[in-house]
Amino acid sequence: NAGVTQTPKFQVLKTGQSMTLQCAQDMNHNSMYWYRQDPGMGLRLIYYSASEGTTDKGEVPNGYNVSRLNKREFSLRLESAAPSQTSVYFCATQGEDVSGPGSSYNEQFFGPGTRLTVL
């Protein structure tokens, strides 16, 4: 089992270019997430998908779009890249909290990340 995979590992873009970051999981999880990590800021949620066919904004969605192509795949698109989007991007998945709120909470599993530089 590969867990959570992300492609590409590294990418350099020029301002205004577009690209799509790919994420795939083989954990049969319904929920998937995109985060960005910046120095001194921790990880911030960009978008998430609670199940196939649904997506929702996180804390920092501006400049991004997402597609939940199927249960396995969740992609993040930058339509017109800006230097402020230089960051490390992480995809994550999570199983269902079948025990209910306040009890055991299923951890999120992260991919290895994509390091994006926008010049």
Asked if residue 103 binds another protein (CB under 8 A), the reply is yes
Asked if residue 25 binds another protein (CB under 8 A), the reply is no
CA distance 22 to 106: 23
Q: Is the peptide bond before 101 cis (omega within 30 degrees of 0)?
A: no
Closest to 113 measured CA to CA, from 51, 43, 52: 43
Residue of the chain from 17, 50, 55, 86 that contacts another protein (CB under 8 A): 50
Please, which residue, 75 or 114, has the CB nearer to another protein?
114
Residue of the chain from 13, 21, 31, 87 that contacts another protein (CB under 8 A): 31
Closest approach of Cβ 82 to another protein, in Å? 23
CA dihedral 3, 52, 18, 57 (to 10 degrees): -100
Asked if residue 52 binds another protein (CB under 8 A), the reply is no
